[in-house]
Structure formats: structure tokens, C-alpha cells
Amino acid sequence: MQYTNTASAGNGGVATASANGGAVSIGDVNSGGNAGSAIGVGDTVGNVGVDGGTMANSTTLGVTANGGTAIADASGGSYNLAFVS
């Protein structure tokens, strides 16, 4: 008859890690020298109508806050006792 001995030692438990991005600070955003319509009207006589039209400007920002790599360790450490069952 052959017996099998098994030795067990404590483990390190549960390890958790997170790599949260945190906060992002953005300084001044310059979307160009958009000044709208510039209209020059000289000397006039009578009824004068001036229409600058419609202006639209959009600025798109893509901001990310990657946290990088998270590393967790659940090593059992030293001084764990092993037993045989």
C-alpha cells in the first residue's frame, strides 16, 4: 500500500489593484483666430441694411487619463507553516 503525503502552507490571501486615471487639468484652449464677420461700411445716404451672416465655430477636445499598469501581489511571505496530512 502506498501513501501520499501532501504539504500545505498558507497563501497570501487576496490582492487587489486599480489603475484609476485621476484628474486632468486643461489650460487655455485656443481654437483659432475666429473673429466672425468683419464689415466695413463707408459713407452712406438713404436706407442701409448690413447683414453679417451666420457664424459657427466648434472645437473638439479628446482628453484621456490613463492610469497605466496596476500590479498586485499576494505573496505568502515568510514564516508560513507547512503541515502534512
Among 3-7, 53-57, 74-78, which is the least confidently predicted range?
74-78
pLDDT above 70 (res 78): no
Lookup: cell for 21: 486615471
- Model confidence, pTM: 0.35
For residue range 6-36, what is the model confidence (pLDDT) as tens digits?
766 666 667 777 777 778 888 888 877 777 7
**Three-class HEC string of the chain:** CCCCCCEEECCCCCCCCCCCCCCCCCCCCCCCCCCCCCCCCCCCCCCCCCCCCCCCCCCCCCCCCCCCCCCCCCCCCCCCCEEEC
